[in-house]
Amino acid sequence: MRRGLFVTGTDTGVGKTLVSCSILSALRQRGRRLGVYKPAETGCPRDETGHLYGEDCRRLLTAANSGQSEASVASALYPIPAAPLVSAEAEGESLDPARLVADYEKLAGEYESVLVEGAGGLLVPIAEGFTFADLAEQLGLPVLVVVGSKLGCLNHALLTLSELERRGQPIAGYVLNSIEEEGLAPHATATNREMLGRFGSCSDLGNMPFVAASERDAFERLGQLAESALELDELPL
């Protein structure tokens, strides 16, 4: 199996980009040179010249700091915040899965390893009859599931892992990400990791601590947190 990682989540807003940037920064501090790829980003703002840019793409690029061009990070950027299929259709466009694979393959030929970050969850549609789960399979990459630790995440996490297992997709493991400083259900969040370990059969690769919004671009610090909180040596990167 090729070196690389496909990062998905149990939902949108669970911290996929935070965890991805933390991993990238930690490995960069170890001297690694990794490529980054986000097939499609939606809800993109415009710069002062009117051009769309991906906020997540820019954060991934900065965290990796590998000399990659911004244009190569994403195959498509859309202004409407929705699933890529929905956003593309709203613009009168469509995404060709073959193009996504080709764009990834180009990066895979330039970097020792590539971290690919999806949008939303595993079954979010990219094109007609084609989801991020299908893309991960076509790229031949093991999947890391980011679980936003909150009340209700156990169901989402176990369903996502179960679907990957049903498909026979290699699973790198899961990372629990603390998305609430003071959750509404503290006992639930305090026991989420234990419950996932008891009911899931995949590798527990760690628990990212809560990171305030004002600190999520402090990439050196994110890398240090990842070194202490995650099982980085278990990742196929």
> Integer distance in angstroms from the first to the last C-alpha of the chain?
11
Question: What kind and span of H or E run contains 138?
Answer: helix 132-139
- Torsion angle, CA of 172/11/152/188, rounded to 10 degrees? 60
The single-letter code of the amino acid at 214 is S
So which residues are the catalytic ones? 38
Q: Determine the Cα–Cα distance for residues 193 and 190; give it in Å rounded to an integer.
A: 7
Q: Determine the Cα–Cα distance for residues 131 and 217; give it in Å rounded to an integer.
A: 29
CA 161, 166, 167, 170 torsion: positive or negative? positive
Quick one: 199 exposed, middle or buried, by C-beta within 10 A (0-12, 13-18, 19+)? Answer: exposed
Question: What kind and span of H or E run contains 94?
Answer: none
Question: What kind and span of H or E run contains 56?
Answer: helix 55-64
